Chain A
Amino acid sequence: MDNGTIIRTQDLTKVYPMGRTSIRALNRVSLSFEKGEFVALVGPSGSGKTTLLNIIGSLDAPTEGSAEVMGLKVETLSHRGAAALRSLHIGFIFQTFNLLPVYTAYENVEFPLLLMKMSAADRKKAVLDALEWVGLADRAKSRPGQLSGGQSQRVAIARAVVKRPGIVLADEPTANLDAENSHMILDTMESLNKNLGTTFIFATHDEKVIRHVRRKITLVDGAVAADEKTAGVAKEKKAPATRSGDASGRAT
């Protein structure tokens, strides 16, 4: 893998058997992603966006072809190896937030760190920093049921970035949010992308998201139909949506 390239797919194909027939969700997709990219995968439903994210996230394996993530070939990883890759290098953000319901915001953000070898003091600092980045330090003790949709998604973002992963995969992160919250979320992610150098890859239909990204990959019927650089609107907007610290966690 070249310097700076953290994901590379080569002729990636995924076929789902459906009874006697099968569905080709991905068809010979070859892409590469550099460190620090802010990318959107767009395309109609069933075009293979989520499947591509799942394979990059080592939640699924390709039928053919290769997916290399952080130097590891996903198709060769054992369950344990895939879990380790996700634990160390990949953060996930979901459309429905997927916060653990019985945990507080703090505990949700802490969860990925519990799976890593980290001291309690370092863990606490990292969690508080992450909550600070997303502007929810004051809601640390709230449970998901006590948070709005926007706040829940911000907790999910904090959870995804708290371990400082190389890659964050976001599947329709704004689909359940109103415009105001969507913008806030996107601003937050964009500032984290800039300040932490984390690569963000979105699967989305949302024009608001597409306007923010700097690269847009269009998938149609499982194949790459277009791969283009975009200007993004980040330059026009103020950076981090945080309250008292920048996205690197330093006090301002």
Chain B
Amino acid sequence: MTLFKLAIRNMLGAGTKTWLNALVLSFSFVAIIWAQSLFKGMDEEASRSLTDIEYGGGQYWVEGYDPLDPFTIQDAHRPVEGVLRDLVDAGRAAPILVVQGTIFPQGRMFSVLLKGIDPGQRILTLPTLCLEPSGGEIPALIGTRAARMFGLAEGDTVTVRWRDVGGTFDAVDVVVAGGFSSTAQSADSGQVWLPLEELRRMTGAAGQATLVVMEKGFSPSTAGSGSLSGWAYKDLDFLLRDIREFIQMKTVGTSIFYVLLMSLAMLAVFNTQVLSIWRRRREIGTMIAMGLTRGRVIALFTLEGSMLSFLAMLVGAVYGIPLLAYFAAHGWVLPSDQADSFGLALGNTLYPIYSAGIIVGTALLVFLITTVVSFLPTRRIAKLRPTEAIKGKLS
């Protein structure tokens, strides 16, 4: 308690030097919290966006289907029967048929995935109601990225070609009946959404699907297992694994930024400690003469340094809370079209998500590193001879 009191006195007594150090340290503190929260926000947003528009509460895939392996797609379809069929009929699941195809907009040719989905489904947030058949034309739904890539707009007609289940090529004109904007590139880029029954008819895969998207909160235990042979359940952990690993990779990459920030702050603390011990050697000698042991002097100087981290938290709170609250409310607006360059489903505005874990974790990290950095120079005190130190001499 005495050392604590003395450390506060010494620290506050040092005036501007202390406040400057605390300010530098607070930059690291606030910046690390902000950056970590931003990544947490990215993670949450990417997960939410993907589950809303593509993954739902998990998916059943036809066994052997691998969306990253085009060769598996040709045969990845089977009838939706039994429990799955019941869930679909109850509106708790949405079957999707995936077929490889080609689109010919304005004389150009692009490979696409044709995806059939029930226009009345409510599992995904895709605006599929526009796929309700009308006037004998086949309606198509495309995302903004696909529309930009293909040069298509609502009302345009475009030819699509595909191979049916028998391996025969066929082609038909479809009309762009609607568009959607999504942060999930995987539901948008290079994809054309068609009415499920129409695609089934086109491909000769009546009653079949490649995957079935389950409602949110679905648990495979409720579906049983006996009637699901030929289907493999993919939960959200599996479906979101890539995106989470990607964010983790970005987080690790950003840790270089943390290390740089912390290094700068710690350099300031270390320098201050070294200078402090050199300039205050007479003080150290006097304290020892008055009955403080060397160990307690070392503890005092270490405490002084480590308490800078608390002061930094206070200073950081003064400007950090309004700043972080502003970002929480208004988000961090990315430059136009930059969101896609992150390689994951992000909106043009990123919202950080703060948590007690991030704040406490960062505070502990800053405190621990500051304490270690404060302690290292104090080892010199153990070598000081008090009789020399009293006179302000180094020994």
Residues of A within 8 A of B (CB): 50, 54, 57, 59-60, 79-80, 83-84, 86-88, 92, 94, 96, 98, 100-103, 107, 111-112, 114-115, 159
> CA of A107 to CA of B13 in the docked complex: distance in angstroms?
11
> CA of A4 to CA of B361 in the docked complex: distance in angstroms?
61
Given contacts A60-B387, A103-B9, contact A92 B290 (CB under 8 A): yes
A102 vs chain B, min Cβ distance (A): 3
* Closest residue of B by beta carbon distance from A117: B2
Residue in A54, A87, A102, A114 whose beta carbon sits within 8 Å of that of B387 in the complex: A54
A12 vs chain B, min Cβ distance (A): 15
> CA of A71 to CA of B391 in the docked complex: distance in angstroms?
28
Q: Mark B287-327, 1 if CB is under 8 A from A, else 0.
A: 11111111100000000000000000000000000000000
Q: Tell me whether B2 and A114 are in contact (CB under 8 A).
A: yes
Measured between beta carbons, the chain B residues less than 8 angstroms from A60 are 387
Q: Tell me whether B9 and A98 are in contact (CB under 8 A).
A: no
Give the interface SS of chain B, mostly helix, strand, loop or mixed: helix
A158 vs chain B, min Cβ distance (A): 13
Q: Tell me whether B290 and A102 are in contact (CB under 8 A).
A: no
Interface range, B side:
20 to 34
A-B CB contact pairs (8 Å), 19 listed: A79-B294, A80-B293, A83-B291, A83-B292, A87-B291, A88-B291, A92-B289, A92-B290, A96-B392, A98-B283, A98-B285, A98-B286, A102-B10, A102-B13, A111-B287, A112-B291, A114-B2, A114-B5, A159-B290
Q: Mark B1-23, 1 if CB is under 8 A from A, else 0.
A: 01001100110111100000000
Measured between beta carbons, the chain B residues less than 8 angstroms from A94 are 286, 390
A238 vs chain B, min Cβ distance (A): 31
B69 vs chain A, min Cβ distance (A): 70
B200, CB-defined interface residue at 8 Å: no
A129 vs chain B, min Cβ distance (A): 18
Given contacts A114-B5, A114-B6, contact A101 B291 (CB under 8 A): no
A232 vs chain B, min Cβ distance (A): 27
> CA of A41 to CA of B150 in the docked complex: distance in angstroms?
101
A130 vs chain B, min Cβ distance (A): 14
Q: Mark B231-252, 1 if CB is under 8 A from A, else 0.
A: 0000000000000000000000
B145, CB-defined interface residue at 8 Å: no
Measured between beta carbons, the chain A residues less than 8 angstroms from B40 are none
Measured between beta carbons, the chain B residues less than 8 angstroms from A107 are 9
Given contacts A94-B390, A114-B2, A115-B2, contact A102 B9 (CB under 8 A): yes
Measured between beta carbons, the chain B residues less than 8 angstroms from A100 are 283, 286-287
B14 vs chain A, min Cβ distance (A): 6
Q: Tell me whether A84 and B291 are in contact (CB under 8 A).
A: yes
Q: Tell me whether A83 and B288 are in contact (CB under 8 A).
A: yes
B139, CB-defined interface residue at 8 Å: no
The 7 closest A-B pairs by CB, nearest first: A102-B13, A87-B291, A98-B286, A83-B293, A86-B291, A92-B289, A114-B2
Given contacts A98-B282, A103-B9, contact A112 B14 (CB under 8 A): no
